[in-house]
Amino acid sequence: MTRGCAQPLRDPAARFVHRSEGKGDYMTAGLRRIAGTMAVAAMLYAGAVQAAAGSSGDRAVKSRVYIDTDTANEVDDPYAVFRALVAPEISVVGLSSMSWKDKREFIAGTRESQAMNEEILTLMGQLERVSHPLGAHQPLPDRATPVDSPAARDIIAKAQETPAGQKLHVFVLGAYTNVASALLLEPAIKDRIAVYAMGYNFDGKQLQTDEFNCQGDQHAAAYLPASGVELHVMPASTLLGFRWTKVDVDRRFKGKGGLPDYLVRRWETWAPDSDRRILWDIAIFEAFLRPDLARSAEIVHEGNTIRVWTSVDEKAMQADYWAATVP
């Protein structure tokens, strides 16, 4: 999730639980019962979506995608994750968790995102296929010191597993702690990954860090553009007109069961009085999957070339999203 500028942090609905004793599992007991009855329907829905997409997913080499996200913050993250999971052109190999809270409550935010990641993957029938490690317990203490976590280690492992001649495409939808830590822990992966970052603002010349995701870990936000990794940025300032309506969401998802209904409930839980919202994170996947729907420019930051998306076709992206997610 991202926002145009740093704003006070807001707690999500308090329906998520912490780690079960002795198990790496953050799902609520209630969700586990629901998931048992909904997973089959969700898999059928996802299969229908992918079948409707045609043969584009049948090509020999799919792009390997890793998603790192503060899922439990705002509305947009699970909508974006859904877009990626049903895209036949890519293979999502990891979904890691990130916080959006301040340092005192950082790990609580990471755990809440972890719970939602497991819920989403369960409802999609992909909990066993897609790795879902826990992210960092705190932001970077400085620009040069990583925060070790299962998520950072998993990004490293997935990068090292990526076949020669390919890159692991790492999409970061929240603060940049996990991917920055992976690069600091194992600098050799720099040439084996491409990072797609939601956040920053763009003034037409340079990236600015007066933005929600950057403020979540200012050291990581400073490190990433200077790291030399292949970096693509979707600035918050590019998406101020990227508004979606609850009416459209209900018309397409409500009553469909599985993850579509979960997404409807997420909007209603987080923003019950909002009839339209900016669903920020969808844009970065649409720009990746449909490059004709966005324009970008190259900038140089501390000697490193960065690709920055400067405009998007909001209506065309929305049309593509609905075509991809509704069979």
When the pLDDT of each residue in the chain is averaged and rounded to a whole number, the result is 88
Ranked by mean pLDDT, the top range of 7-21, 24-38, 288-302 is: 288-302
Instruction: Collect all residues with Cβ–Cβ distance below 8 Å to 232 and sequence separation of at least 6.
Output: 194, 195, 196, 197, 288, 296, 306, 307, 308, 309
**What pLDDT, on the 0 to 100 scale, is given for residue 7?**
39
**What pLDDT, on the 0 to 100 scale, is given for residue 49?**
55
37-50: b or e for each residue (b if 16 or more CB lie within 10 Å)? ebbebbeebbeebb
**What pLDDT, on the 0 to 100 scale, is given for residue 22?**
31
Token pair, residue 57, equals 């997913």
3-state helix, strand, coil in the chain (%, to 5): 45, 20, 35
pLDDT in tens, 80-105: 999 999 999 999 999 999 999 999 99
CA distance 245 to 264: 11
Closest CA to 327 of 125, 123, 50: 50
**What pLDDT, on the 0 to 100 scale, is given for residue 302?**
87
Token pair, residue 36, equals 């048992």
pLDDT in tens, 115-137: 999 999 999 999 999 999 999 99
Q: In the chain, what are the domains?
A: 29-325 (3.90.245.10)
pLDDT in tens, 184-212: 999 999 999 999 999 999 999 999 999 99
Residue 213 has pLDDT above 60, yes or no: yes
pLDDT in tens, 260-315: 999 999 999 999 999 999 999 999 999 999 999 999 999 999 899 999 999 999 99
The answer to whether the CB of 93 falls within 8 A of the CB of 196 is no
**What pLDDT, on the 0 to 100 scale, is given for residue 20?**
29
pLDDT in tens, 243-260: 999 999 999 999 999 999
More reliable by pLDDT, 302 or 106: 106
The answer to whether the CB of 119 falls within 8 A of the CB of 262 is yes
Closest CA to 84 of 92, 94, 76: 92
Residue 71 has pLDDT above 60, yes or no: yes
